[in-house]
Amino acid sequence: MTPPTRWLEIAVPAHAEAVEAVSEILSRVGYNGIAVEVPLERDRSATDYTVKAYVVDDADAFAKVSDVRDALGHLQAFGLGPIGALVAPRIDDKDWLESWKADFIPIRIGAFLVRPTWSEAVAGDAVELVLDPGMAFGTGLHPTTQQCLEALSTMSLEGKSALDVGTGSGILAIAAAKRGASPVVAVDTDALAVDAARENAMRNGVAIPVAAGSAADVPGRFDVVIANIVPPVLQSIAPHLAARLSVDGTLIVAGISAPAEAATREAFAHARLEVLDRTERDDWVALALRR
């Protein structure tokens, strides 16, 4: 008989402000993705979320854990909320994957039904987004992703061009395409995310060119630009996002923690963009901007 596969459970405590960035890093190595344990009661100052990923306990496991530690260390430069010490205990539970899948259930967000690939939920009158959340961050479960999906639910997108910067799993680009946006272009600086977005676009039957890079690497202007990224990155690429926006276009930005809102608004004001709308959920802020 084949012995059961052994796993390392990589677990990282994180403040709410750092959850998205930590999730993205762990998704690079996690087998079938990551999971986030949400606290029953939230303390703004605490690392009370836990982001988990699972890797096979093989000859490459040590290098993967080391890469994650290095990447987490680099996050400190962005001034996010505190991140706790990584732990990586061994586990033998061969049924962990099925238990993990049980936590990812279909979710209705605005006009969309986000369902994992293994679910057979019926979309009804919703626009169906079928994703493998294991490949990159962006399952629809995080408040920032939900804010963007809700914004895309209410916008008139038929025949409008759209750019998704920092596409992750591709969920927002796919959502825009399924509501009639065309053409839709997506970019991400992470090679894993580029592969994930391409696969998910094919899975959903939409044609979306996905390339490595950021807003500065994309030619032309778009009617809708979307960027769900951590605040320091949003602030640094604000001029590039503004440059990609058509005269009457709308920029949707999310991933902004409440303490970083003022600095992020200032960066976009310097890029000569005006805030038209603001939403807040669980201390996360999303903005809609225009020229």
Of the listed ranges 74-78, 91-95, 139-143, 175-179, the least confidently predicted one is: 91-95
The answer to whether residue 80 scores a pLDDT higher than 50 is: yes
Helices 61-75 and 19-27, axial angle in degrees (round to 10): 150
Rounded to whole angstroms, the Cα distance separating 38 from 55 reads: 21
Topology adopted by domain 104-290: Rossmann fold (3.40.50)
Q: What is the dihedral of CA 185, 189, 190, 191, to 10 degrees?
A: 70
- The whole-number pLDDT of residue 118 equals 74
Number of Cβ within 10 Å of residue 108's Cβ equals 15
**Cross-strand pairs, 184:** 162
Task: Kindly tell me the number of DSSP H helices and DSSP E strands found in the chain.
Answer: 8, 14
pLDDT in tens, 193-252: 788 889 899 999 999 999 999 999 999 999 999 999 888 899 999 999 999 999 999 999
State the pLDDT confidence band at 180, using cuts at 50, 70 and 90.
very high
CB–CB of 249/225 below 8 Å?
A: yes
Cis peptide before 259 (omega within 30 of 0): no
Which is more confident, 13 or 92? 13
Rounded to whole angstroms, the Cα distance separating 135 from 29 reads: 9
- The whole-number pLDDT of residue 189 equals 87
Total residues found in the chain within this entry? 291
For the chain, the domains span 7-101, 104-290
104-290 and 7-101 share a CATH fold: no
State the pLDDT confidence band at 43, using cuts at 50, 70 and 90.
low
Return the percentage of the chain with pLDDT > 90, whole number. Answer: 50
DSSP assigned state of 123: -
Which is more confident, 185 or 30? 185
Rounded to whole angstroms, the Cα distance separating 179 from 176 reads: 5
State the pLDDT confidence band at 156, using cuts at 50, 70 and 90.
very high
The answer to whether residue 149 scores a pLDDT higher than 90 is: yes
Which is more confident, 39 or 231? 231
DSSP assigned state of 200: H
Residue 128: partners with Cβ closer than 8 Å, 6 or more residues away: 112, 113, 115, 178, 204
The answer to whether residue 2 scores a pLDDT higher than 50 is: no
Report the CATH architecture of 7-101.
Answer: 2-Layer Sandwich (3.30)
Number of Cβ within 10 Å of residue 155's Cβ equals 17
Q: Provide mean pLDDT across the span 42-50.
A: 66
Would you state the structure tokens that stand for residue 60, as one six-digit string?
């490459």
pLDDT in tens, 98-146: 555 665 668 889 999 988 777 777 888 999 998 865 434 455 567 888 9
CB–CB of 153/193 below 8 Å?
A: no
Q: Provide mean pLDDT across the span 19-40.
A: 76
How deeply is 153 buried, as exposed, middle or buried, from its count of CB atoms within 10 A (0-12, 13-18, 19+)? middle
Rounded to whole angstroms, the Cα distance separating 170 from 226 reads: 11
Which is more confident, 141 or 259? 259
Rounded to whole angstroms, the Cα distance separating 215 from 225 reads: 9
- Written as one string, the DSSP assignment of 246-280 is EEEEEEEEEEEEGGGHHHHHHHHHHTT-EEEEEEE
Residue with tokens 């990155």: 233
Would you state the structure tokens that stand for residue 45, as one six-digit string?
């100052």
Q: Provide mean pLDDT across the span 62-71.
A: 92
Q: Provide mean pLDDT across the span 51-70.
A: 89
- The whole-number pLDDT of residue 244 equals 98
Rounded to whole angstroms, the Cα distance separating 211 from 228 reads: 17
